Structure 1
Amino acid sequence: MSDKPVYAAKTDTFGAQASVLDTNKVLKNTYMLLGMTLAFSAMTAGIAIAVGIPPMGGLLLMLVGFGLLFVVNRMADTAKGLPAIFAFTGVMGAALGPTLSYYLSMTNGPQLVLQALGGTAIVFFGLSAYALTTRKDFSYMGGFLMVGLLVAIVAAIANIFLAIPALSLTISSAIVLIMSGLILFDTSRIVNGGETNYIRATVSLYLNVYNLFIHLLHLLAAFTGGDD
């Protein structure tokens, strides 16, 4: 009787174990880096609020952030990836300063921001836990989510000129749902080995959390009468 099947089975087992270890390492590094970048963004947002960066300054910083996003993706496989992602998230946090200043100036502003932060945390941890526990493959959602995101972006640009409040709320509601789906999608990719670079994985989850927070804050302000 040949021993080849036994050796093949052992090789498959070792390969599977190595794959699990690699996945766990990517997950650990991703969540650690995500926590640090979110904390860094919160710090730069606080500085932007204290300095009083105007809305136009926030818009310019957002454009710089988009430019840095391409830099991060290009450098994700090198040692320069870490400073690049902190530069990106730092700028994005500062860009959020004028928006937070606007909401904080409302009568119930601090409560709104805290509620948006709490809601974002609940959605993120809940969906991440579900994806990690079930280990389901949500890759089938990718095409639908990208189309939905593209439609939402086009609608948001159109609403800059149309200025329809109801459309603005619809867009924010859609983006909250899309970002929630992307949290499942991106976490699933890490769990199932579709994403092996923790810097790129962090960027994806960071953007999901960032946009989820902004649009959840908008909805809370509108439905509690703070965005009149």
Structure 2
Amino acid sequence: MRYTDALSTTHTSQAANKTLRNTYGLLSLTLLFSAFTAGVSVVMNLPPMGLIITLVGFYGLLFLTHKCKNSAAGILCVFALTGFMGLTLGPILNMYLNMANGGTLIMSALAMTGLSFMGLSAYALISKKDFSFLNGFITIGFFALLFAMVAGFFIQLPALQIFISVGFTLFSAAIILLQTSEIVRGGETNYIMATVNLYVSLYNMFLSLLSLFGMASDD
């Protein structure tokens, strides 16, 4: 019985390591591709796509990725999704680049996002803790942020914008911890969906930190 348990544990560990390698490999490639499309958007000075197009494009590609997550087509969907999100990032970056210290703000937000991801991932990988208790925080946080964003369309308060940015930063950090923990513990076996979850978290964290740094410098 113990021998069977040992074999099962070994198999789970090997599967988790494979999922982790595939996730980080695909995440690295999609981040590079997203950076490329964002750069193209910046150079071409593309206008903002608008809320409706952005939401339809994001959720449409996300749905398609979920439908194809168990096939090779899912990888193409991930690149389509992250490439599209890179294009939406271009106009935002151009707005900051037109500021006196915009380049510094972007690099600071990018560096902080990278360091946060490495720190959170390392903690989840080394500790191998079960972070499933964060599910409640993530659910409550989602609805709280959704309510705050809707309110933000009608109430232009700096304090509310700070709350939204800080909230998204913490929300993204929680998802990174939970997703990495799920992979390590064998709860997540689909590297395509794991990649999407981590990418979206990094995207939101970067924009939130960029917003916070901008507000801190009165930009």
Whether the 8 Å CA contact 2:34–2:86 is kept in 1: the answer is yes
Deviation (angstroms), 1:63: 3.0
1:177 maps to 2:170: yes
* Structure 2 CA distance for aligned equivalents of residues 171 and 49 of structure 1: 25
Deviation (angstroms), 1:56: 3.6
- Give the direction of change, closer, same or farther, for the CA distance of 1:59–1:110 in structure 2 (3 Å limit): farther
Deviation (angstroms), 1:180: 0.9
4+ residue segments displaced more than 6 Å: none
1:218 maps to 2:211: yes
Deviation (angstroms), 1:11: 2.0
* Structure 2 CA distance for aligned equivalents of residues 180 and 40 of structure 1: 22
Whether the 8 Å CA contact 1:44–1:93 is kept in 2: the answer is yes
- The TM-score normalised by the length of structure 2 is 0.96
Q: Which residue of 2 aligns with 1:139?
A: 132
Equivalent residue runs for 1:48-197 within 5 Å? 48-56=41-49, 60-197=53-190
Deviation (angstroms), 1:151: 1.0
Q: Partner letter of residue 93 of structure 2?
A: L
The number of aligned residues is: 219
Structure 1 unmatched ranges of 5 or more: 1-7
**Larger RCO, structure (CA 8 Å, separation 6 or more):** 2
Q: Partner letter of residue 126 of structure 2?
A: T
Structure 2 unmatched ranges of 5 or more: none
* Structure 1 CA distance for aligned equivalents of residues 52 and 97 of structure 2: 18
RMSD value, Cα: 1.3
- The TM-score normalised by the length of structure 1 is 0.92
Identity within the alignment, %: 44
Q: Deviations over 1:125-184 (max 9, x none)?
A: 001000000000000111211211221122112201212222111110111111111111
My pick for the range that moved more, 13-22 or 62-71, is 62-71
Deviation (angstroms), 1:199: 0.2
* Structure 1 CA distance for aligned equivalents of residues 26 and 36 of structure 2: 15
* Structure 2 CA distance for aligned equivalents of residues 210 and 67 of structure 1: 18
Equivalent residue runs for 1:193-212 within 5 Å? 193-212=186-205
- Give the direction of change, closer, same or farther, for the CA distance of 1:141–1:57 in structure 2 (3 Å limit): closer
Please identify the structure whose Cα radius of gyration is greater: 1
